[in-house]
């Protein structure tokens, strides 16, 4: 799970009314009032000529976003801020509250350490499994197309769970749901370690995914609520540690466990860590007040969407028209229900009528298909074709994560200056050649060449995915942002699961048709990955460009 996915999951899980203290500071009230009134936004805390509030510097140009102008540099932060704040009160004023220190006190640091431990466990498990698939296929005498469901089932469970997390926090409270998520994830991990067949492991991975899908958004939610406006930026940087560390440390750590005590310890190792996180939670995370009445759960939507995603993905795996047709029918039924229901739908189809959001969703779907294709294919290639062990295969995957880490700071700066569209187009243009390089794999292809391709791939994916979150909210009403974030996260996760299923079927077909040339089979499959990456150019062209500058009176220059 990548950084942008973690951030979007956190925004999606923030309840709209459960924690009124989030916007109580006068500075937050002034900021919101300025943005909603159409007045030019001035960065709080900067002294200037007018009323002690300085206008943005020349480097921080004012642009039009939706109905209120804001600096492009703060575009992503504004979207996240609006998604995590309360709905405006009837009077439009924020209630007063006691002043909060902006110092990171020991209690807050203890809370941050508690949730980071849980989030890191869930993210490491997702990346560690990638280097164990070859061993799992061998031990269970399963095909690649079947064993990839160990990853696909987990991702599908996450896709269904993330939209439910916000409702669950409103209904039961963040601490209660955190304890529940850790317990479910730990129990699922223990059961995965006892699996006796591929089918049992896949079933237990679904249970594990139901817990893991809640852990990451809950961790971001708990920290955002506890930090307040003054400390949220610093605390969120701590919360981002698991998303940055897991892709780098996960594959090598998984390789050590697979080659040491065995693949079962990839799952067993989560049990004591979850137990430690549960003990830390008792004192580290305070209980928070819940609203008197939580919004109703879209039970019908859950009953329709969950099987629709599972049946569609299974139909792709079996290449069965019957299952694909049934999945389409269930998905259509969910769409009709979501458009007619009086309760808040699990996913709102109306969001996809806006061009920026629809383009961002399509781009996220295709990007996840290609990036998870690399995560599935490269470890299998190194182990099945080159004969490397799990540890060596895990280490050879590190360049992709390094490419992402190195590109992230530059991507943010360029996006602020040029807008999302050119950055995403450049990212896709870099990703396609990287996939083409991987398609040239043979039985003795240079590891240096493949590492360079993965480094390029990681950098391209950072540019192709990070600006999408800000672009998706272009012109969107603040009240719709939490629902949009939830939908975008679900679409991206489904794209990852569909990509893994489709590419595994293609690879298995090529291996069966060319049993004496496994390297060529992997090369043929990587051409499909390149095609998915190239298709992302189409929705990228529809993304909004740089917002036009606005004058102080709200008119566009």
- Quote the CA–CA distance of 273 and 267 in Å, as a whole number: 11
Superfamily of domain 112-287+344-541: MFS general substrate transporter like domains (1.20.1250.20)
- Spatial CB neighbours of 329, under 8 Å, sequence gap ≥ 6: none
With tokens 């489709």, the residue in question is: 502
Residue 62 has phi, psi (to 5 degrees) of -95, 130
Provide the pLDDT for residue 491. Answer: 86
Q: Are 263 and 136 contacting, i.e. CB atoms less than 8 angstroms apart?
A: yes
- Quote the CA–CA distance of 465 and 459 in Å, as a whole number: 10
Q: Are 412 and 405 contacting, i.e. CB atoms less than 8 angstroms apart?
A: no
SS3 category, 442:
coil
Of 63, 80, 69, the residue nearest 41 (C-alpha): 69
Q: Are 475 and 446 contacting, i.e. CB atoms less than 8 angstroms apart?
A: no
- Spatial CB neighbours of 160, under 8 Å, sequence gap ≥ 6: 210, 213, 302, 305, 306, 309, 490
Give the chain's length. Answer: 557
Query: Which stretches within 67-105 are classed as H helix?
Result: 75-84
Q: Is 446 exposed, middle or buried (0-12, 13-18, 19+ CB in 10 A)?
A: exposed
- Quote the CA–CA distance of 224 and 231 in Å, as a whole number: 9
Q: Is 299 exposed, middle or buried (0-12, 13-18, 19+ CB in 10 A)?
A: exposed
Q: What is the largest CA-CA distance in the chain?
A: 77
Provide the pLDDT for residue 479. Answer: 66
Q: What pLDDT tens digit does each residue of the chain (557 aa) get? A: 444 554 444 444 444 444 444 444 445 444 444 444 444 444 444 444 444 444 444 443 434 334 333 433 333 333 333 333 333 333 344 444 444 556 666 777 777 778 888 888 888 888 888 889 888 998 999 888 888 889 888 988 888 888 788 788 878 888 888 899 999 999 999 999 999 999 999 999 999 999 988 887 887 777 766 766 566 556 655 666 666 667 778 888 989 999 988 999 999 999 998 998 888 887 777 776 665 566 788 888 888 888 888 888 888 877 777 888 888 999 999 999 989 888 888 888 888 888 888 888 898 898 888 888 778 888 999 998 988 998 999 899 888 888 888 887 787 778 777 778 888 898 888 889 998 998 888 888 888 999 999 999 888 888 887 777 767 777 777 667 667 777 887 888 888 888 888 888 888 888 888 888 888 999 999 999 999 989 988 988 888 766 555 444 444 44
- Quote the CA–CA distance of 98 and 24 in Å, as a whole number: 9
Per-domain residue ranges of the chain: 112-287+344-541
Question: What is the per-residue burial (b if ≥16 Cβ within 10 Å, else e) of 474-503?
Answer: bebebebbbbbbbbbbbbbbbbbbbbbbbb
């Amino acid at each position: 799970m990548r950084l942008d996915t973690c951030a979007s999951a956190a925004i999606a899980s923030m309840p709209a009314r459960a924690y009124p203290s989030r916007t109580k500071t006068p500075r937050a009230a002034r900021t919101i009032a300025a943005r909603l009134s159409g007045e030019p936004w001035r960065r709080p805390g900067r002294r200037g000529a007018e009323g002690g509030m300085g206008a943005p510097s020349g480097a921080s140009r004012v642009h039009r976003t939706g109905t209120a102008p804001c600096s492009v540099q703060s575009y992503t932060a504004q979207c996240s801020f609006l998604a995590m704040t309360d709905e405006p009160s009837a009077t439009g004023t924020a209630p007063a509250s006691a002043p909060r220190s902006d110092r990171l006190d020991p209690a807050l640091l203890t809370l941050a350490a508690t949730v980071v431990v849980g989030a890191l466990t869930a993210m490491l498990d997702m990346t560690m499994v990638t280097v164990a698939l070859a061993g799992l296929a061998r031990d269970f005498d399963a095909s690649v197309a079947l064993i990839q469901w160990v990853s696909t089932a987990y991702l599908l469970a996450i896709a269904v769970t993330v939209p439910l997390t916000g409702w669950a926090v409103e209904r039961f409270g963040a601490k209660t749901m955190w304890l529940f998520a850790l317990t479910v994830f730990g129990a699922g991990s223990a059961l995965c370690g006892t699996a006796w067949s591929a089918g049992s492991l896949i079933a237990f991975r679904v249970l594990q995914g139901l817990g893991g899908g809640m852990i990451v958004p809950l961790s971001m939610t708990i920290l955002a609520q506890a930090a307040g406006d003054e400390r949220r930026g610093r605390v969120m940087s701590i919360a981002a540690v698991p998303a940055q560390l897991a892709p780098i440390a996960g594959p090598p750590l998984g390789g050590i466990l697979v080659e040491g005590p065995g693949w079962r310890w990839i799952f067993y190792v989560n049990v004591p860590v979850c137990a430690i996180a549960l003990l830390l939670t008792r004192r580290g995370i305070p209980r928070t007040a819940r609203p008197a009445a939580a919004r109703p759960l879209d039970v019908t939507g859950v009953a329709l969407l969950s099987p629709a995603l599972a049946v569609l993905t299974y139909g792709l795996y079996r290449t069965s028209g019957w299952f694909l047709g049934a999945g389409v029918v269930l998905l259509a039924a969910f769409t009709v229900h979501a458009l007619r229901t009086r309760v808040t739908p699990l996913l709102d189809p109306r969001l996809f009528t806006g061009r920026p959001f629809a383009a961002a969703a399509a781009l996220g779907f295709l990007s996840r298909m290609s990036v998870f294709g690399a995560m599935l294919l490269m470890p299998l290639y190194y182990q099945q074709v080159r004969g490397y062990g799990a540890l060596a295969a895990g280490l050879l995957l590190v360049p992709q994560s390094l490419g992402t880490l190195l590109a992230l700071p530059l991507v943010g700066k360029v996006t602020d200056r040029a807008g999302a569209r050119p950055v995403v187009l450049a990212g896709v243009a870099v990703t396609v050649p990287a996939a083409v390089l991987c398609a040239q794999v043979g039985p003795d292809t240079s590891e240096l060449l493949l590492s360079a391709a993965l480094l390029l791939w990681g950098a391209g994916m950072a540019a192709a995915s990070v600006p999408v979150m800000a672009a998706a909210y272009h012109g969107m009403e603040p009240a719709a942002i939490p629902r949009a974030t939830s939908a975008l996260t679900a679409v991206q996760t489904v794209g990852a699961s569909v990509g893994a299923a489709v590419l595994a079927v293609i690879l298995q077909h090529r291996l069966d048709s060319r049993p004496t040339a496994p390297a060529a089979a992997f090369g043929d499959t990587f051409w499909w990955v390149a095609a998915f990456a190239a298709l992302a150019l189409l929705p990228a062209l529809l993304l909004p460009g740089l917002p036009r500058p606005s004058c102080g009176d709200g008119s566009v220059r």
